[in-house]
Every structure is written in structure tokens, then in C-alpha cells.
Amino acid sequence: MDLLHTIYLVAITAEAMSGAIMGMRRGMDLFGICLLGTVTALGGGTARDVLLGHYPIGWIANPEYLGFTIGAAIVTAMIARHLHHLRRVFLLVDGLGLVAFTIIGCDVAMSMQAHPAIVVLAGLITGIFGGLLRDVLCTQVPMVLQRELYATVALAAGVLYVGLLWLGVGNGLASLVALAAGFLFRVLAMTLRWKLPDFNGKDIRGLD
């Protein structure tokens, strides 16, 4: 099992737990918690595979992924009262997972001989779409559409990865460099509170 795949399994487990936590905050039952956790963890890869026509879809070809996500959601429901101590760990694993998802998404698109722009877009969708679906199902503005540097990190990691491969860097080294750089970018963005400019109602007052 290679490093990227190991990180992927850790990431889908962490994402499933984050989805389960949000489901509990919305008062969902156990089925809802498991569903939301699974959608959060596997939604990005599913959306990518459907858009690219890449079949079978990842979790259908590897049904053990469902076991990881459903199991993680159930465990989360059982130990939820203790998880507030692990918030920082969740954020770090989420950042690592975001970049790993992005690189894996790029690899899938490249295996289909897609245009480089589509390769980067496929990585971006893989990285962010699960969280977007989670937030939509919980009726809140998705985090990726707010000021937080999240999609920007995925986009930067994807561009770096594809650029390194274009320059002739080996796949393994390119994966490690993009993974490290993307994760560092995400950690710095969280630590230093880097944000994109926002546009609120005060900016357009009087234009309606």
C-alpha cells in the first residue's frame, strides 16, 4: 500500500467523522449521521468519476471504503463527547486529506488522457465536493464558498502536481512535493488566518 493510498484511507475516515459530527449537530438519527459521513468522505470522488465517465465508481470498485466511512461515523456517534479535544487534529488531517484527494483526482483524470486543465479541475472537485455536499445537506453556506482558503489550496496543489509532471519529475516525487507544499499552505492559511476578500451587503447598498 503506497503512501498516498494510506493517507487517502486516513482522510476518508476523518472526513466521515467530520460529516457525522455535523449530522449530530443537526439532530440527525444514526442513518442520517452515517449517510452524511459517507457523502462527505466519498462525494468528491463520486462526482469526479461521474463527470469523467470513470467507471466503476471508486467506492463501488472498492466497497471497503464504505466500511471505513460508515464505521467511522458510528464510532463518532459513540464517542462524540470526547471529540472536542481533537478539533485541531481533525483540521490537520482534513488539510492533509484535501491535498491527497486532489492529487488522487488528478491521477484519475490523467489516466484517462484528459486535458491538463481538466486534470486540475478533476483534482479540485475530488478535494472539495464532499464537504460542499455535506454543507448543502445541512442547509448552510458551504465553507468552500466562504473566505477560507480551502479550494485555493486544492487548486494550488493540483497545479503544482501537474506542473511537476510536465517538467518530467517522477510521479512519486511529484506526489510527495505537492502533498507537502499543499499541506503546508493549508496549515499556514489556518494559522495566519489567510482569507480571500469577501463582498457583503454593505458593499452593494443602494444598488437594489
What are the tens digits of pLDDT across the range 84-134?
A: 666 777 778 778 888 989 999 999 999 999 999 999 999 999 999 998 999
Residue with cell 482522510: 11
Is-contact 174 161, C-beta < 8 A?
yes
Work out the pLDDT band at 201, boundaries 50, 70, 90: low
Query: What DSSP letter does each residue of 66-101 carry, written as one string?
Result: HHHHHHHHHHHHHHGGGGGGGHHHHHHHHHHHHHHH
Distance CA 74, CA 108 (A): 30
pTM: 0.86
Distance CA 99, CA 117 (A): 17
- For residues 141-167, average pLDDT: 89
